[in-house]
A and B are shown apart, each in its own frame.
Chain A
């Protein structure tokens, strides 16, 4: 346990030293600030860009601000997460630093878990600041509106990020090449998202946590409807990490 914490802390330092943490942090903060702002300014921007044709734009509400935020984080933010974190394990194995660490007290499973926890910490810190800025900007720009299950919607998107990181960690153990690890991360992420297309499991599919956020905020979905997707997402994270640990234990470095 002590070595796991030590290596997670070391990994976290490495994330900021190699600018990976800085990129994720700044990109998410920019999304957090620009989402409500662009939702508010969009009618003006369209009017300014207009070429004489009359464009009817409905008055933006807080729903547009949160819709923009969840769209940015759920698509571009997740793509940045996959691109940034997919090289983590590959770099360590190619440079030989993984072998050095594994000769110390660190087991292969602890190595994988320390990578996962460090990535999740960077994501959590960045996402928390980003979401807080988005809420503050939205409250200021759209005063008087009370969103529905805001905290649950934000939590679900955070869990969706953790699920993506687990997928990226598995991909990093399967491939020994930067590009393949990134492509593998996208493929696993895509497969997870496709799970909601299966009619029998669509309401409890793990990908629902990344797509039902606006239904929660607009109160079209009750909080109890998210129990099953949250549970399946947690189980899938556990499964992905178990697969990553089992494969990495047998893999030649």
Chain B
């Protein structure tokens, strides 16, 4: 399959998206609370919507220090 020959290019993209997701999840678990919704719903949003989920969490879900 032609598309599969480009897998070395896809790995960094997947790694960055996974990294962003992990940063958001770890931040939320350490903080233990969120500004809007609850932590369970945010965990689902972060995991299900890669890229958009973590970005939304840091913009509207993250509890300030």
Contacts and interface: CB of A to CB of B under 8 A. Distances in A.
B58 A20 contact: yes
A37 B3 contact: no
Contact of A27 (B9, B12, B23, B51): B51
A33 interface: yes
B10 A37 contact: yes
A12 B31 CA distance: 23
Nearest to A19: B58
B35 to A, nearest CB: 10
Instruction: Name B's interface SS.
Output: helix
Contact of B64 (A22, A23, A95): A95
Interface string A69-97: 00000000000100110010001000100
B44 interface: no
B4 to A, nearest CB: 9
B3 A33 contact: no
Contacts of A48: 1, 3
A34 B50 CA distance: 14
A41 B12 contact: no
Contacts of B54: 23
Interface in A4-48: 18-20, 22-23, 26-27, 29-30, 33-34, 37, 40-41, 44-45, 48
B3 A23 contact: no
B50 to A, nearest CB: 10
A22 B23 contact: yes
A45 B27 CA distance: 35
A44 B23 contact: no
B59 A33 contact: no
B20 interface: yes
A137 B9 contact: yes
B55 interface: yes
A206 to B, nearest CB: 26
Given A26-B16, A27-B51, A41 B6 contact: yes
14 contacts: A19-B23, A23-B54, A23-B55, A23-B58, A27-B51, A29-B16, A30-B13, A30-B17, A33-B16, A37-B10, A48-B1, A84-B59, A87-B59, A95-B64
Interface of B: 1-3, 6, 9-10, 12-13, 16-17, 19-20, 23, 27, 51, 54-55, 58-59, 62, 64-65
